[in-house]
Structure 1
Amino acid sequence: MKISFKILALGALVLSATGCENFIDINENPNAATAVTPDAILAQALAATAANYTGGPGVAGGQNYNSYTSFAAGYWGKSGGVSGFGEERTYNYSTSYNATLFVNTYDNLNDYQLIQQNAALYPNHAAIARIMKAYNFLLLVDEWGDIPYTQALQGATETTPAYDDDVAIYADLLVQLTGAIADINAVATDATARTVGTEDIVFNGNMTKWKQFANSLKLRILMRQSQTPNASPSVTTQLLALQTAPDGFITADVVAQPGYAQSSNQQNPFYTRYGLTAAGTAAGDRAFILPTNYIINQYKDNNDPRLTQLYGQGTKLVNDVATPGYYGTDLGEANPPAVTGNNISSRFLLNGGLLKGASAPTVLMLLSEQLFLEAEAETRGLFGGGESAAKQDYLDGIKASFMQFYRTAGTDIRPARTGDVPATATIAGAVASTPGVAQYNTYITANATNPLVNYDLAPTNGSSLRKQSVIIYQKYLAENTIASTEAWADFRRTGQPKFTVSREAATPGRLPKRLLYPLSEINTNNDNLPQGVDQYTPVFWDVVD
């Protein structure tokens, strides 16, 4: 992490606290820094997290968590109209694959570290930074396992940090999230504390929502810990306590909205890469990515209307007749179909559920994930409420997915900022006319006898894992592309769903379990690198296979 330590030692980026363009542009000159305050850093730090999670071409050559995991989790394949994508197709990773993502995440963590250093004057900003550090460290652990943690972010005082055990990091992330909630509660009684305003591009300074987000991240962490053989009794205790935690969990999608607009360098980064440019022409990677036949068939075979909301139709020659339909590629296929000519594959639908528009926000956590996590905890007896509560949260998770995919860019906005259209993503606020609700009702009705949809018909896998598979399956459909990182983690954690990989893809016929440590660490911190680790070495919670 040579770059990260250098940046922290030089000081913070010179950042303005006003202006939508500056909220998005984080590429200022670090050598020009003279003074910086947390309210001048927060917006750009949050925008950088969003870009790292689902970024565009301007973010380290497009390296980001969701694009990488969309291939790994079976959602994406490459088209025949482009070369490259060798590691995505073969699942044979190298030390350069997503190496910049590792460095960029630590650079982003440095931003939050700088905010925390001013906690005395900006306690709410520091609490937000503490939560977002946990969010980012969680991403790093889930993709690389052991990472620098306790000695990280120390600037020039520690340029070769030790690697911490992933189990220990997970445990401390829970401590940090609990501490952040306590920090926010303490600030609430301090009339002199600085408030958080529009620089909070996620919740607009609503600290209750930040506490809910922290609780939801704790649930994500605890559920990954819960199936490990060495899961301590405290995991179950913490889960039971978390169910009734003050302030509860998120009630809507958590999104970052720094002011994306149809203008050069201001568009939603995912839309810029896979949709249209600001000039209205096809984005550079639009023709390079195809949905897999597997994910298309999951929607098609279950009469799922989300299929038509996510992808446009292609054409295929059938008896010399160009026949429209939804066509993809096989995961890892050596000779995938093209996007021109007579056989044309499906692509992301413009202004649909994935490519909502240039001004759409970036999702940091889905409401559907939260609800499916609750359903899983309930059906496994880790939360109270039993099967009836699990079924309701399961159905609400599906509904939240439909609402997310069917919302337009104009209504998919974080609430409470002057001039914004209020979001309508809460389950409690859903009515018959809410986008996606009618389609959800059609889906549930059409699948009354389908055990992959009807919770009551889902198979049981023993008392400790009752109906977990159908919950994970529907969660997988909900997280397609916009939260592939969580779907990939769930696949490694549970072995579900069983998506198909071409025999040409995996070497030696296995899917990888992690990314390799980047060459930058090998060159600058090799003495501390964990030994005997390859791409098939699981992180600690990957215990199913």
Structure 2
Amino acid sequence: MNKRLFKYSSIILLLGLVFAGCKDLEDMNHDPTKANSTPTSTLLSNAEKSAMDFLYNGLQNGRIGMPYAQYWAANDKANDSRYLLDEGINNSLWNSFYANTLRDLEEIIRLNRSHTAQEETANQIAIASILKVWIYQILTDCYGNIPFKSTMQVATNITPEYDDAKTIYTALIDTLQNQVKLLNVAQPSFKSGDIIYGGDVAKWKKLGSTLLLRMAIRMVDADQAKAKSIIEANYMNAISSNDDNAVFQYLNTAPNKFPYNDSERGLTEFFVSGTLVDYMKSVSDPRLPIFARLPADASITDYVGMPYGTDAANPNRKGQDKYSIPGKRIYAADMQGILVTYPEVAFILAEAAARGFSVGGDAATHYKNGVTASLNYWGITDQPAVDNYLTKVPYNAADWRNVIGSQKWLALYPQGFQGWFERTRLHFKKPGGADLFIAPVDPSLDQNVTVVPYRLTYPVSEQQQNKANYDAASQAIGGDTKGTKLWWNKF
């Protein structure tokens, strides 16, 4: 693994040089019998890294995902926590996935199908297709209806139509089901370039099944019968331990450091929210010293979260040395970019069992597995400590939504976008029913949102450059506002 990772900075640099010369290359005559393209391994490593870089940097994750999940509260730009969306950041999120990650993955598929890949294999197509599903689900869960069918026809269609989000889900589920079947452990895949799994086909099969579980549980309140069928058909083949986690391991070496880290400068843009800190303190959560740090003021000996959505001019706001910032591990240069981990799978199965689905165990067992696996992931492996924590957050079948929801939310930290999606989807509170989340202390700056956005508004660039299709999409979803609920959100 280390040898593969050591190589990918030079690979990414090579990819940049290749793309920089594309215009000149288009004017040259090529021998049609010879391959003249970027290696698929290079495209894969670039796609994986570009996706993780945008999901975990201080802009998209820090300014959107983490505050919308109410994990963090903004320090330097307090309006982020009051839902004033920065359009540059929003536009970058949209464009980076379409123009970078999805284009690279589509090129892998094209090269394999046109027989110009260095190693033509069905496994390469399947792996690229699974990653495409991952990205498209994030996009449609952020915005609702999005360009889907025509997005890769850039040369002929620069104003793509938007597709219905529910229809996109159906297509993504079909893709996952088909590609998981096509993955063949007896055939080669990627000899290099795969930072997530090192080309291990068996693990990619597990990831495909796991993403099916994620999609199914997200749509469970909109179509329970279909969700039940998908979960029951795929849970046995999904990730079943932390050994199978789908993660992108960053390195403490530029340019391959975690996209938002404090190895070169101190970071004070964000505080851990009072919502997160106060709840974790109330249950003596052993992950708190990992998720947060003690305030810089040495006289303060306990963790202190920033009350969520506090305006910079609020007279009750303390100095920045009085609040906890995210933990050292969260800001480590060699932190992992998380695609999905076993704790999430365990909580999906716990919820499925609580809803009466047949998933090879009861809800209490899957819940215990999820809590334990999350603690283990963060290095808390002492069994007495794990058992002690479980006594403080016991499973309660009569209150399953709040019990599972609150622990799944903790386990998803620092996956801001997934934490936000699950917050709005499951609509959970603290165990017992008391509110966990709060509206911004100083009111929302978006007239359509009081407590939490349900989606992101479409980028302004779409309104300007693709207006007809933007207008149609906006009307189809019920209005382009952050208060518009997505098709799967029934609360």
Equivalent-residue separation in structure 2 for 1:139 and 1:21 (angstroms): 26
Work out whether 1:502 is the aligned partner of 2:483.
no
Confirm or deny: 8 A CA contact 2:440 2:451 kept in the other structure.
no
CA 1:301 to 1:189, structure 2 compared with 1: closer, same or farther past 3 Å? closer
CA 1:42 to 1:446, structure 2 compared with 1: closer, same or farther past 3 Å? closer
Gaps of 5+ in 2: 26-36, 114-119, 430-435
CA 1:359 to 1:97, structure 2 compared with 1: closer, same or farther past 3 Å? closer
Work out whether 1:158 is the aligned partner of 2:157.
yes
Amino acid paired to 1:393: H
For 1:72-111, what aligned pairs fall within 5 Å after superposition? 72-79=68-75, 82=76, 84-86=77-79, 88-93=80-85, 95-107=87-99, 108-111=101-104
Which of residues 478, 483, 501 in structure 1 aligns to 2:411? 478
Which of residues 211, 214, 225 in structure 1 aligns to 2:208? 214
Amino acid paired to 1:241: A
* CA drift at 1:141: 0.4
Q: TM-score, normalised by structure 2?
A: 0.85
Equivalent position of 1:20 in the other structure: 8
Which of residues 369, 390, 394 in structure 1 aligns to 2:363? 390
Confirm or deny: 8 A CA contact 2:247 2:339 kept in the other structure.
yes
String of CA shifts for 1:161-203, please: whole Å, max 9, x gaps.
1100000001110011112112213xx566xxx5412311111
Confirm or deny: 8 A CA contact 2:189 2:201 kept in the other structure.
no
Equivalent-residue separation in structure 2 for 1:444 and 1:306 (angstroms): 14
Q: Secondary structure at the match of 2:301?
A: strand
Gaps of 5+ in 1: 1-15, 56-61, 407-435, 462-466
Q: Secondary structure at the match of 2:484?
A: coil
Give me the identity figure in percent. 23
Confirm or deny: 8 A CA contact 2:5 2:195 kept in the other structure.
no
Which of residues 362, 384, 387 in structure 2 aligns to 1:441? 384
String of CA shifts for 1:215-262, please: whole Å, max 9, x gaps.
01000101111111xx16333222222234xx43353321113xx433
CA 1:24 to 1:294, structure 2 compared with 1: closer, same or farther past 3 Å? farther
Equivalent position of 1:269 in the other structure: 259
Confirm or deny: 8 A CA contact 1:63 1:100 kept in the other structure.
no
Work out whether 1:309 is the aligned partner of 2:250.
no
String of CA shifts for 1:373-409, please: whole Å, max 9, x gaps.
11111111123445xx322221111111112222xxx
Amino acid paired to 1:491: R
* CA drift at 1:445: 2.0
String of CA shifts for 1:464-489, please: whole Å, max 9, x gaps.
xxx122011101111122x2211111
String of CA shifts for 1:287-310, please: whole Å, max 9, x gaps.
121011111111111011211222
Equivalent position of 1:527 in the other structure: 468
Confirm or deny: 8 A CA contact 1:255 1:365 kept in the other structure.
yes
Work out whether 1:248 is the aligned partner of 2:238.
yes
CA 1:361 to 1:234, structure 2 compared with 1: closer, same or farther past 3 Å? closer
For 1:18-97, what aligned pairs fall within 5 Å after superposition? 19-23=7-11, 25=13, 27-28=16-17, 30-33=19-22, 35-55=37-57, 62-65=58-61, 68-79=64-75, 82=76, 84-86=77-79, 88-93=80-85, 95-97=87-89
Equivalent-residue separation in structure 2 for 1:161 and 1:143 (angstroms): 18
CA 1:505 to 1:528, structure 2 compared with 1: closer, same or farther past 3 Å? same
String of CA shifts for 1:481-540, please: whole Å, max 9, x gaps.
2x2211111111121233122341324434211111112211211100113321111111
* CA drift at 1:27: 4.4
CA 1:391 to 1:233, structure 2 compared with 1: closer, same or farther past 3 Å? closer
Equivalent position of 2:28 in the other structure: none
CA 1:251 to 1:197, structure 2 compared with 1: closer, same or farther past 3 Å? farther
Equivalent position of 1:196 in the other structure: 190
Amino acid paired to 1:76: W
Equivalent position of 1:130 in the other structure: 129
Confirm or deny: 8 A CA contact 1:42 1:125 kept in the other structure.
no
Q: TM-score, normalised by structure 1?
A: 0.77
Structure with the bigger percentage of helix? 2
Q: Secondary structure at the match of 1:270?
A: coil
Amino acid paired to 2:203: K
* CA drift at 1:19: 2.2
Q: Secondary structure at the match of 2:155?
A: helix
Which of residues 356, 380, 392 in structure 2 aligns to 1:381? 356
Confirm or deny: 8 A CA contact 1:375 1:471 kept in the other structure.
yes
- Let me know the Cα RMSD of the aligned residues: 2.4
CA 1:157 to 1:218, structure 2 compared with 1: closer, same or farther past 3 Å? same
Amino acid paired to 1:473: S
Equivalent-residue separation in structure 2 for 1:131 and 1:477 (angstroms): 26
* CA drift at 1:263: 3.1
Confirm or deny: 8 A CA contact 1:315 1:324 kept in the other structure.
no
Q: Secondary structure at the match of 2:271?
A: strand
Confirm or deny: 8 A CA contact 2:239 2:341 kept in the other structure.
no
